[in-house]
Amino acid sequence: MVIESTAEPFVQKPQTLAALRDEIAAGRTKAADLASTYYERIAAINPQLNVYLSLTRDRALEQAQRIDAIAAKGDPLPILAGIPVGIKDVLVMRGASSTAGSKILEGYHPPYDATVVTRLEAAGAVLLGKLNCDEFAMGSSTENSAFGPVRNPHDLERVPGGSSGGSAAAVAANLAVATLGSDTGGSIRQPASFCGVVGVLPTYGRVSRYGLIAFASSLDRVGPFAANVRDAATMLGVIAGHDPRDATSSPAPLPDYAAQCDKPVEGLRIGIPAEYFGEGLDPEVRAAIELGIAALEAAGCKTRPVSLPHTRYAIPTYYLVATAEASANLARFDGVRYGYRSTASESLSAMYRHSRDEGFGAEVKRRILLGTYALSAGYYDAYYLKAQKVRRLLAGEFLRAFAEVDAIVTPTAPTPAFKLGEKTGDPLAMYLADIYTVTASLAGICGVTVPCGNTRAGLPIGMQVLARHFNESTAFRVARAVEASEAS
């Protein structure tokens, strides 16, 4: 297995999905040997990065041996045959530890697989293990995990982003060829930007949520990370599609995303929203995104300004809707049915109180309290209902913009990766790290973040490409054009 290495000791670029699959099909690489190579690298690197919370070695090697047996017979291989993949720990795998980064679920081994897990294995993927994340996907830095923070492979003193920081860092450090994460308000796109990889926010309903441990049910989405746009498109093609076990899953037709990636972008109309280029945007991030926009113009795209004035209300709107849904979803974790139960429980009410107080971390408790308050009698109309009305206005603005343009490009995050501990004492500053991503989450549209240069200190910068509902193909086309300009 050939690995392209960069100057940083922890950053390695894996081979593409297609190249690895061809190696396995030709017999030049055994899937079982490839998996073992990745487990060796995990053993060497994971103690410094804290990316994996648990490994599923027996299941992975059994799958790899099945792939090798198919290859030995000369039979056609599935599209992800032998590809090592990591799974964010908010997605359940049968018999594997599934904690959602929380002490309250420590020791939980679910009896079933998430739909996306089933689809990955049916496509031949070798699932290496479960990846670290902010507790219940609540965070922007992966510092809220009950099992310790993840470190950014580009700079071990910096965060990888969150909540899917383990998923992004695993791809950046080549501890998996591709991974799955979840995105509620930016939890795929922001860490992808911070770690210099590609991350995908599918349209709400495009990918099944069956088997996803819920944070905010009207916002949660499952999506892939990969080292390049085509691999990310291939991964989405595998996991997307209707699932009768998810009532919010869409039956919309599924295109061949990978085949769409290299279609010319000449003539595409690209919207540039002024609201994403104002106060708080790091100058180096601005410069990199402007260069990316210039590259799209050189490729034949036509850029024009678009207006999304309700963007300034996105953060408070998101943190009312998301916390309200979280307070309802997390009510089930009470120390009775599964998970952590406090020993300081002299009565039923004390058991509930102590189990939740000891089992949940500070950020989760903060959001439960916020959400419960927003839903309480006398405050529902003033907060939650009003937030839903603003959400509808924001979604309408995107629909009007997409009547005029094919895609919208923005910075993914206002800054590059910040230092560990820099924002933990200021929750509002942490929440503002998602200022450019929560809008698409509230609107239900799709997006891709793609690497778009680096700071002078070598930290990655990401460009966010947004497209209308179920138009991931256009987002991939534009992202691939940015990627091609970076490579030239």
What per-residue confidence (pLDDT) applies to 9?
73
215 confidence band (pLDDT: 50, 70, 90): very high
Q: What are 147-184's pLDDT values in tens digits?
A: 999 999 999 999 999 999 999 999 999 999 999 999 99
DSSP alpha helices (H): ranges in 360-385?
A: 362-375
What structural domains does the chain harbor? Answer: 4-265 (3.90.1300.10)
- 452: pLDDT strictly greater than 80: yes
Nearest alpha-carbon partner for 231 in 85, 342, 42 = 85
Q: Which residues pair with 463 in a beta bridge?
A: 411, 450
Active site residues: 88, 163, 187
Q: Quick one: how far is CA 104 from the chain centroid?
A: 22
Using an 8 Å Cβ cutoff, are 323 and 368 in contact? Answer: yes
- 412: pLDDT strictly greater than 90: yes
What mean pLDDT comes out for the span 241-254? 97
Distances (CA, A) of 63 to 34, 116, 120, 180, 198: 12, 16, 11, 18, 26
CA 156 to CA 146: how far, in whole Å? Answer: 19
488 confidence band (pLDDT: 50, 70, 90): confident
Q: Mind giving me the DSSP string for 253-277?
A: ----HHHHTTS--TT-EEEEEGGGS
Q: What are 12-26's pLDDT values in tens digits?
A: 999 999 999 999 999
CA 285 to CA 281: how far, in whole Å? Answer: 7
What per-residue confidence (pLDDT) applies to 8?
54
Helix (H) or strand (E) holding 234: helix 229-239
5 confidence band (pLDDT: 50, 70, 90): very low
Place of tokens 């690995």: 3
How are the residues of the chain apportioned to helix, strand and coil, as percentages rounded to the nearest 5? 45, 15, 40
Encoded amino acid at 270, one letter? I
Using an 8 Å Cβ cutoff, are 428 and 482 in contact? Answer: no
- 235: pLDDT strictly greater than 80: yes
Rg of the chain (C-alpha set): 21
Place of tokens 């959602």: 100
Using an 8 Å Cβ cutoff, are 206 and 252 in contact? Answer: yes
What per-residue confidence (pLDDT) applies to 487?
82
Q: What are 325-340's pLDDT values in tens digits?
A: 999 999 999 988 878 9
Q: What are 346-364's pLDDT values in tens digits?
A: 899 899 999 999 999 999 9
Percent of the chain with pLDDT over 70: 98
The rounded mean pLDDT for the chain is: 96
What mean pLDDT comes out for the span 203-222? 98
Place of tokens 């085509």: 230
Using an 8 Å Cβ cutoff, are 335 and 343 in contact? Answer: no
**163 cis-preceded (ω within 30 degrees of 0):** yes
Encoded amino acid at 292, one letter? G
What mean pLDDT comes out for the span 52-65? 98
Q: Quick one: how far is CA 478 from the chain centroid?
A: 19
- 7: pLDDT strictly greater than 70: no
- Of the CA atoms within 13 Å of residue 426, those in its CB half-sphere come to 8
Q: Mind giving me the DSSP string for 265-322?
A: -TT-EEEEEGGGSSTT--HHHHHHHHHHHHHHHHTT-EEEEE--GGGGGHHHHHHHHH
What per-residue confidence (pLDDT) applies to 6?
42
Burial 414-430 (b: 16+ CB within 10 A, else e): bbbbbebebbbeebeeb
Within 10 A of 484 (CB to CB), how many other CB atoms are there? 15
Helix (H) or strand (E) holding 21: helix 17-25
CA 17 to CA 38: how far, in whole Å? Answer: 15
Sheet strand arrangement including 446-454: 52-55, 126-131, 84-88, 178-183, 221-226, 198-201, 446-454, 460-467, 407-411, 269-273, 302-306
Q: Which residues pair with 304 in a beta bridge?
A: 271
Q: What are 106-118's pLDDT values in tens digits?
A: 999 999 999 999 9
- 1: pLDDT strictly greater than 60: no
Length of the chain equals 488
